[in-house]
Amino acid sequence: MTTTSAAAAARATVYGHPRQGPDRELKKAVEGYWKGRVDADALRATAAELRRATWQSLAEAGVGEVPTGDFSYYDHVLDTTVMVGAIPARHRDAVAADALDGYFAMARGTQDVAPLEMTKWFDTNYHYLVPELGPDTVFTADSAKQVAELTEALALGLTARPVLVGPVTYLLLAKPAPGVAADFDPITLLDRLLPVYAEVLADLRAAGAEWVQLDEPALVQDRTPAELNAAGRAYRDLGALTDRPRLLVASYFDRLGEALPVLAKAPVDGLALDFTGPAAANLDALAAAGGLPGKRLVAGVVDGRNIWVNDLAHSLSVLGTLLGLADRVDVSASCSLLHVPLDTAPERDIDPQILRWLAFARQKTAEVVTLAKGLARGTDTIAAELAANRADLASREQSPLTHDPAVRARAAAVTETDARRGQPYAERVTAQRARLGLPLLPTTTVGSFPQTPQLRTARADLRAGRTGTAEYEERIRAEIQEVISFQEKTGLDVLVHGEAERNDMVQYFAEQLTGYLATQHGWVQSYGTRYVRPPILAGDISRPEPMTVRWTTYAQSLSDRPVKGMLTGPVTMLAWSFVRDDQPLGDTARQVALALRDEVNDLEAAGTSVIQVDEPALRETLPLRAADRPAYLAWATEAFRLTTSGVRPDTQVHTHMCYAEFGDIVAAIDDLDADVISLEAARSHMQVARELAAHGYPREAGPGVYDIHSPRVPSVEEAAGLLRAGLGAIPAERLWVNPDCGLKTRAWPETRASLENLVAAARRVRAEL
Ligand code: GLN
Ligand code: ZN
């Protein structure tokens, strides 16, 4: 590669970094503060030390421009709400009394005041707090946090670039405040918000910022002409400011599409674009648009959401193409490194050879630095890194873990009929009714029963070697006995074993499937101080032995009523894991589906008459761009049917979904061809039942009549009212009675009372039929 002037200046940067610290120090400090064990000054000191360590390690790794302002005690969207002064009315007193306590009150609520709603940050597993806005919202600038963190970084002698959530994305992520008309569109507040951003930008300029980054990931979603117009106006106005730093507008998670020309034309100084996954389309689009003459381009060529080593040679070729398209090209990860764990180095249980295939935040930072160096000084200066990278990629490609001939042959032999039940629903339903003999409006639960502190302690004791397997399993059997006897006594019709043995609905299966890896320290922020360790779908997937059969059959041995087998579906197994990037997602889903199909068939062979395959993540994995959705839904629904189609007509297949508006996926839900589906519905007063009816959904459904997200016990009449609403949409022969979701987060007292009321409600409404 020849060195051009655009290349010579190339620098490495990132947009954000894991916040928690190597030992999750931030989690400990924040939770300690909540419990009164850590005072505010100690919390602030811990946070400042974590920021310093992060910047210093980035700088030592060779990052030329470190991000500031990406740090957060809880959530960066909530920080933005504070920055623009959009504190909800119900929290204003608390914030005025004490900014830090008020901040946490907005995040978590208090005894008397509800927190902000939390939802997923685009299609990641990070959750942000949803801004609440209305026609009366008054924005006021509070740049204190941004200025303070920039000042800290500059004091270390570093070049730093503050990173803010951009004004357009902030408004597009907001919702109407309580009491504001549901059709209020927050984007109409843009003209009021821009002066506040102008003030913050001026403050940052005054504090020494040369560049400021404004993140606009909302522009990678399908946007209306009016929204694109708003984006154009926002950056025309901010660009026209005289007292401002240079502006870098960043997008990530997908391609910019029609927003690309809008931003390219705007009078800003640079764009940061994602060139990984579906966003790779940005490359051709940028060339077609004539590039970014006179602007800085930050190229996100290292996938910031996945944990695989980068293909450095491929990235260099992308960067080489980009050199001709902008004034200056810098190298970055595709998005903030917040979405990956910190470091592979402490992982002791992963084979060292395989560990070399993985790149967490520190490794990704090193990749970005290597690429920037190769770009600036020529590829011969990174020859050693390129050779090692080639060897790691080859080792991954040739490994028996990623290429199991038996798994591949089986997946290749799958036919359309394998993913179809042998009989149409009309025949299945007759056979199932004869076999199960259930009443009208049958009652059931979604699977889990309370995961008590005692159960969690038992599992921790097993992991730490304080108890043996036999003792632990005895404990689980005792729990199953209790759960079964409670359900019989309460009069539920289809029982569950309660999932006491499961730490997590994905991890439990991942631990038993060949091809999955688990990390010891691979924590990723889910929300606030909650961190998860997603398993890694690293290789070809197979099931060495049955995973759930003995628990289900044990539970069934205790009762004459049907006990449901309970599995996590293939799409959810992918959605809550790090997935392979060396084959299409649909291929991975098919492998997982075949492994789960064996489990389904084994459950049936062991006498299980009802088998539930949960797919709570079907909706959340939907691609950001509508154009990509049909292809996704095709492989996702096929994987579910492949999992569940190996059974007899009289075996009843259930599925379950939550966390969603279902309106736009009803056709896909129908395509699953499950005999029964349970759905979250209590808070929306059975909205989903009406959506299913409008679609002409032909099979049985249980829209939830008990909101399990709160300890509140629904009264008999309340549950009966919801059931009657359900009957307005779904005929009695096809309506089930169940809670919204599993009960694992609930305590026993409210669970008992709520399920007793649920059964009583079913009886009351049956009597009215
Ligand atoms: N069967 C699981 C449970 O009951 C389903 C959980 C979920 O949908 N998130 O816990
Ligand atoms: Zn659920």
For 436-482, what is each residue's pLDDT tens digit?
A: 999 999 999 999 999 999 999 999 999 999 999 999 999 999 999 99
Give me Rg for the CA atoms of the chain. Answer: 27
DSSP strands (E only) in 166-310: 175-176, 211-215, 246-250, 270-274, 292-302
Mutate to test the pocket of ligand 1, among 494, 505, 751 (most ligand atoms within 8 A of CB): 505
Which atom of ligand 1 has the smallest separation from the CA of 566?
Answer: 1
Say which residues have a Cβ less than 8 Å from residue 670's Cβ, sequence separation at least 6: 695, 697, 698
Per-residue pLDDT at 663: 84
Q: Which ligand sits closest to the CA of 614?
A: 1
Show the tokens assigned to 168: 């357009």
Query: Does the annotation place 576 within a ligand binding site?
Result: yes
Which residue bears the tokens 């992991």?
463
What spacing in Å lies between the alpha carbon of 433 and ligand 1's midpoint? 25
Mean pLDDT of 77-94: 97
Is pLDDT of 225 > 80?
A: yes
Per-residue pLDDT band for 684 (boundaries 50, 70, 90) equals confident
Q: Check if 709 is active-site.
A: yes
Q: What is the mean pLDDT of residues 65-76?
A: 98
pLDDT above 60 for 2? no
* pLDDT tens profile 623-635: 999 999 999 999 9
Q: CB of 48 within 8 A of CB of 54?
A: no
Which residue out of 314, 521, 654, 709 is catalytically annotated?
Answer: 709
Residue pair 765/727 in contact by the 8 Å Cβ criterion: yes
Residue 592: pLDDT above 60? yes
Give yes or no for a contact between 297 and 330, defined as CB atoms under 8 angstroms apart. yes
H or E element in which residue 333 lies: strand 326-333
Q: Is 620 annotated as a binding residue?
A: yes
Residue 703 Cα to ligand 2 middle (Å):
11
Taking a C-beta distance cutoff of 8 angstroms, is the pair 614, 575 a contact? no
Give Cβ neighbours of residue 466 (< 8 Å, ≥ 6 apart): none
* Contact by Cβ (8 Å): 44, 132: no
Q: What local confidence, expressed as pLDDT, does residue 385 receive?
A: 98
Q: What is the DSSP string of 260-285?
A: HHHHHHSS-SEEEEE-SGGGGGHHHH
Taking alpha carbons only, the member of 275, 424, 414 closest to residue 335 is 275
Q: Given pLDDT bands bounded at 50, 70 and 90, which one contains residue 4?
A: low
pLDDT at 660 over 70: no
Band (pLDDT 50/70/90 cuts) for residue 1 is very low
Q: Is the pLDDT of residue 6 over 90?
A: no
Residue 727 annotated as lining a ligand binding site: no
Is 680 annotated in some ligand binding site? yes
- pLDDT confidence of residue 495: 98
pLDDT tens for 498-521 read 999 999 999 999 999 999 999 999
DSSP 530: E
> In this structure, what is the dihedral angle of CA atoms 432, 435, 439, 445, given to the nearest 10 degrees?
-70
- By the 8 A CB rule, do 160 and 12 touch? no
- Which residues does a 6 A CB cutoff place in the pocket of ligand 1? 446-448, 499, 505, 566, 614, 616, 656, 658, 741-742, 744
Mean residue pLDDT across the chain: 96
Full 3-state SS string of 667-722: HHHHHCCCCEEEECCCCCCCHHHHHHHHHCCCCEEEECCCCCCCCCCCCHHHHHHH
Q: How confident is the model at residue 735 (pLDDT cuts 50, 70, 90)?
A: very high
Surrounding ion ligand 2 within 5 Å at CB are 616, 658, 741
Mean pLDDT of 192-212: 98
Given this model, what pLDDT does residue 3 score?
46
Quick one: which atom of ligand 1 is closest to the CA of 744? 10
Bridge pairing between strands 127-129 and 132-133 = unpaired
- Angle (nearest 5°) at CA 622 between 618 and 627: 145
Model pTM score:
0.95
Ligand 1 atom index nearest CA of 446? 4
Q: What share of the chain has pLDDT > 70, as a percent?
A: 99
Q: Taking 60 as the threshold, does the pLDDT of residue 692 lie above it? A: yes
Which string of b and e fits 381-413 if b means at least 16 CB within 10 Å? ebeebbeebeebbeebeebebbebeebeebbee
Among residues 170, 662, 49, 205, the alpha carbon closest in space to that of 677 is found at 662
CA distance 94 to 89: 10
Atom of ligand 1 minimally distant from the CA of 568: 1
Mean pLDDT of 384-396: 98
Residue of 563, 571, 614 to test ligand 1 pocket, by largest number of atoms within 8 Å of CB:
614
Residue 390 has pLDDT above 70, yes or no: yes
- Which residue's alpha carbon is at the smallest distance from atom 6 of ligand 1? 742
Average pLDDT for 89-104: 97
Whole-angstrom Cα distance, residue 744 to residue 594? 28
